[in-house]
Structure 1
Amino acid sequence: MSTLTIVVRYFASARAAAGEEEEKVQLPSGASVGDAVAELRRLHPSDLPRVLDAASYLLDGFAVRDLTRPLHDGAELDVLPPFAGG
């Protein structure tokens, strides 16, 4: 089975919950954004799932609303928790 590697970048409370600013994650070829989010839940089971429930995602700098969107090798997935302020 072939794999792809993505870079996940965490911001604000997502960074605190993951305990790191960014990490590389390997997934099976054909994986989607939703598959990546499921893997992040598995990798960081204590605090990150709560943040992921409310987070928004950017894939290569573009907002992702459809978590079935496929990933490509080398993609950058940003995890953006809700921000307060105005």
Structure 2
Amino acid sequence: MQITLRYYAAAQAAAGVAEEPLTAPDGASLAQALEAALAVDRTAAVRDGAASARRDAPAFAEVLRRCSFLVNEVAAKDRSRPLADGDVVDVLPPFAGG
């Protein structure tokens, strides 16, 4: 199945991209999709000159641990929640302010 991950603020900085498609096994959970995102190899993009595609893997993993998530614009508090083909996951790091 194909899902889209959209990153905001610190998540975007650590991911090196604002948005990316991700192929995951049918029925994968949100947690499994996030693990797959951590494993994305951006070597080819960097080699081809897309410096913005650099992913700071340790920082990205740390940010993901603190993030909240929306799936199709609805809060997803359970990371074991299964995803469906075409789902859009927004990755939201903690924001300052009230």
Q: Where does residue 96 of structure 2 map in the other structure?
A: 84
Stretches of structure 1 that go unaligned for 5 or more consecutive residues are none
* AA partner of residue 80 (structure 2): T
Quick check: which has more Rg, 1 or 2? 2
Q: Where does residue 56 of structure 1 map in the other structure?
A: 68
Structure (1 or 2) with the greater strand fraction: 1
Number of aligned residue pairs:
83
Q: Where does residue 5 of structure 1 map in the other structure?
A: 2
TM-score normalised by length of structure 1: 0.91
TM-score normalised by length of structure 2: 0.80
| Greater than 3 Å deviation, 4+ residue runs | none
Q: Distance in 2 between matches of 1:50 and 1:10?
A: 14
Q: Distance in 2 between matches of 1:39 and 1:81?
A: 18
RMSD after superposition = 1.0
2:21 to 24, 34, 53: 24
**Aligned sequence identity (%):** 43
